[in-house]
Structure 1
């Protein structure tokens, strides 16, 4: 897949959003329109735009509403609120004022110019401007089938409103470190973090709910400790990026991977979760590698 093909996928997803601003929009449907997994799409979208998908959709709806109010002063605010998928006139007015600094009612009779966001157009020029001066060359590695054992936690990703992975994931690692010695047949000292979506038949199915697994690789699944889960990752190819810096700075690395390197590369993101591969002493010493599945 060429960079232009990838950008076309992203643009198709954005076009789908724009065509459905007055309807309920599920993130998984937007991602499907772009031919991506829900998690991949959310991560890519924020890397490129700086906004979560929900923020972009809400802000575009508010921009649409502002233009309608400016062009038709007789429009009922309640009707407009419901058309923009807000639950009530009150919630719409609060969001409008928070974003534009003025209530819809006052805006109708004012001449104030608002900072309205336009529809995104993703192309090579946009990406060059976004990631100017940032470069990072990955290692392309191939891994045979991996057996993993670890524990998981449900969380809301940072790409959704109310995201809280900065709290629950460190706590998970803290619990996991105290139990690593229970896992038999460990292969090496590296620890692996995996982010994935709940399957569509899961009781936790949601646009926001994700699951994070803290794992180690093993050579067999004998004697899996209580409360832990075994996973098999098929033979895969990865682009491995080494993150140099503090854990809190990883967002900059991810923005480069998803917002610049992947769209410009000759690779396509393959099915399967992203990996965080941590050396035993990280973050005090050692390395943090981010593995992106590719094909």
Structure 2
């Protein structure tokens, strides 16, 4: 008798394939029939398999993915009304959207738009899709040119970085300096958020800007990202998982490269943002400074 043995890794591959499909098809009908076909799995077993690996049902996962996009729309895209966002998220009415949003995030959409409670929001997305081993990174050693920047320092819990980012966005809009469509945007974490006490974590949000930065109520000031050799890899997708690319640079690429690290933290160059593209289409350059 020939047994068809499906390994745990194959199950993980199936679930990750489904998660990737959901992320890139949020505006389509994501029924169990459709998702089970993507998983190449019987629909009679798919829903149990998905929940066993993800901790939530496929239906709940889809709703959370759509609500995540809706959250970014509320916080960063004033041009979208709450009604528009509700229908885009697949709800039959703004009232149904508001009930679901409030149940999960403890804020109405309007409250979240005005003053988002990012720390509680992050807690709802703490569980990450399964890891299935490392793909090979495409790493390039580049000569990074110095950037003069305007920056705002975030000091405190990593889950509150988006609050600081909102202040930087307000500064950009109110002054017209370092406009997002004509400037580069960088993030500089000075330590690993997983190994740093929350009150000691620092993350600089930077936008290229030459010259002085006028005194302002937001705390934005002038700074520099220094020139030097760097290993650069592309991270695609959610910023919440950018640590996976960073760790892979340190764990896999660096030991085999023969390179030594320079005394400056790794940093990120954001090529697009969640108010421009869906989260799955985010592209970020990750730089590891070298001697």
Please report the TM-score for the alignment, with normalisation by the length of structure 1.
Answer: 0.44
Higher helix share: 2
Higher relative contact order (CA 8 A, sep 6+): 1
TM-score normalised to structure 2 length: 0.45
